Structure formats: structure tokens, C-alpha cells
Amino acid sequence: MPKLLLQPFLENSFFHAFTNQQQGVISLFIDCHGENMICELIDDGVGMMQSKADQLLAGQPDEDSRSIGIRNVNARIHLLFGEKYGVKIFSEPGQGTSVRTTLPIIRSNNNADENKESTNIQNKS
């Protein structure tokens, strides 16, 4: 998995999802589907309009003009793995936000590739 891939999304949950509440839950689910790895970060925070989530993913600045992390992660995934991989955001006001990242599984038989930016799954055979 590319380094620092999920960090911007986790930061966004901390800084934006729970602004009006004392506590909340952030969950991370990682699963393999065929040749893809799906990473999903879900919070039960304040959520946002889906149009706002789409705007953030497209890299259109919001009123504070600092919303580049999401766009950068998505662009990095596209550059590394192609357009069929990337980030999707699902959100609804009052219902929280889900950030789903799809990456290819790249299988390796040794640890030499460990530091490369890839979704590395070690073969056990």
C-alpha cells in the first residue's frame, strides 16, 4: 500500500466529522475482492452533502481553500495504478462519511519490493 495513503482521510475525520459532538467512531475495514484491495474508512460524524464530497474529490477548493489532500491521494493512485483505481466518498448530513479506496493487489515473493509504493501481498507458497 502506498505510504501515507489513508492519513489524510483519518485527519479529515478527526478535524471535521466530530465538530459538534463529544465522541464518535472511526472504523477502518480492509478486504480483498478478486485482484483488488478495498480500504474503507467510515466515521459516524456530522457527514456532508454528497455534492460537497464530490467537490472535495474533484479538488475544487472549499471556502478555506485547503482541501487538496483528498485530490492528491486520488491523483497519486491514478498515476501509480491507473484510472480504474482510486477514491470514492459517500456521505450524508447527520449520517457520517465513508471513504473507499480501491487498489490493485501486487503479489511479491520476496521482501525486496517492500519499500515500493504498492499494495504488496506476500505469497506464502
* Backbone dihedral angles phi then psi of residue 76, each to the nearest 5 degrees: -65, -45
| Contact of 73 with 8, CB cutoff 8 Å | yes
The residue assigned the cell 466518498 is: 89
Q: Is the residue at 99 inside a domain?
A: yes
> How many structural domains does the chain have?
1
Per the domain annotation, does 121 fall within a domain?
A: no
118 domain residue, yes or no:
no
pTM comes to: 0.79
C-alpha cell at position 98: 465513508
CATH number at 21 reads 3.30.565.10
Residue 120 belongs to some domain of the structure: no
Amino acid 123: pLDDT: 47
Residue 111, in any domain of the structure: no
Closest by alpha carbon to 12, among 58, 54, 53? 53
Which residues are CB-neighbours of 119 under 8 A, at least 6 positions away? 1, 2, 37, 103, 104, 105, 106
Write down the mean pLDDT value for the chain. Answer: 83
Is residue 124, in this structure, part of any structural domain at all?
no
How does pLDDT run across 7-55, given as a tens digit for each residue? 888 888 888 888 877 789 999 999 999 999 999 999 999 999 999 888 8
